[in-house]
């Protein structure tokens, strides 16, 4: 039988694995790679009047092209900021309130800060709080905190995997150019 404690432990174990994959793909990422676009169409970030802003997809179709590492790191910052604000904060944050980072170092620092905030907030929850629905307001409502934590784990793993795929494309392109 699954108890609140074992559910919490399982989700935290899954989260730790997702963090390891993310950390692996962030290791040694360079500024050039951060700003590299895998294809002309695709989600990226751009500076407008001194503020780095992300593209926002108009669809979920494959024809929009692959995202850059910079956009992926913004996307992670976006959903993690939204979850923290809507779960443990004022629930007032909007997508437009979350700028992109112009540098990899800044983006990585933001992600580590969000990770630390999440871990600190989650650590304070009782096992029973994981079954409660009161905190779950974004990206869905009326679900348990455990469901929200499971969603966050999947989103983190998905974005970490996409970051890794972008790194494979970047690495193979650089290798291909040096051999031709």
Nearest-angstrom CA–CA distance, 56 and 45: 9
Q: Supply 168's token pair.
A: 């494979």
Beta pairing class for 45-48 and 51-54: antiparallel
Nearest-angstrom CA–CA distance, 31 and 102: 9
Average pLDDT over residues 57-78: 96
Band (2; pLDDT cuts 50, 70, 90): confident
The answer to whether residue 161 sits within a structural domain is yes
Residue 180: pLDDT over 90:
no
pLDDT of residue 36: 97
pLDDT of residue 178: 66
What's the structural domain count of the chain? 1
pLDDT of residue 168: 95
The answer to whether residue 133 sits within a structural domain is yes
* pLDDT tens sequence across 108-149: 999 999 999 999 999 999 999 999 999 999 999 999 999 999
Please tell me the number of Cα atoms within 13 Å of 125 on its side-chain side.
26
The answer to whether residue 39 sits within a structural domain is no
Average pLDDT over residues 58-82: 96
The answer to whether residue 73 sits within a structural domain is yes
The answer to whether residue 30 sits within a structural domain is no
- Structural domain harbouring 157: 66-173
Per the document, the length of the chain is 180
Share in percent of the chain as helix, strand, coil (round to 5): 65, 5, 30
The answer to whether residue 40 sits within a structural domain is no
- Asked if the peptide bond before residue 95 counts as cis, ω within 30 degrees of 0, the response is no
Dihedral of the CA atoms 16, 133, 124, 5 (nearest 10)? -60
């Amino acid at each position: 039988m699954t108890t609140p404690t074992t559910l919490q432990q399982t989700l935290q174990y899954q989260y730790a694995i997702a963090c390891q994959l993310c950390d692996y793909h962030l290791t040694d990422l360079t500024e050039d790679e951060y700003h590299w676009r895998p294809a002309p169409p695709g989600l990226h970030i751009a500076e407008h009047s001194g503020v780095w802003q992300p593209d926002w997809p108009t669809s979920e179709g494959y024809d929009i092209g692959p995202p850059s590492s910079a956009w992926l790191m913004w996307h992670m910052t976006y959903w993690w900021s939204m979850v923290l604000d809507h779960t443990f904060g004022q629930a007032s944050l909007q997508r437009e309130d979350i700028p992109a980072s112009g540098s990899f170092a800044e983006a990585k620092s933001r992600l580590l800060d969000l990770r630390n905030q999440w871990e600190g907030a989650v650590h304070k929850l009782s096992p029973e709080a994981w079954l409660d629905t009161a905190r779950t307001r974004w990206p869905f409502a009326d679900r348990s905190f455990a469901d929200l934590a499971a969603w966050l784990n999947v989103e983190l793993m998905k974005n970490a995997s996409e970051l890794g795929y972008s790194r494979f494309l970047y690495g193979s392109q650089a290798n291909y150019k040096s051999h031709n």
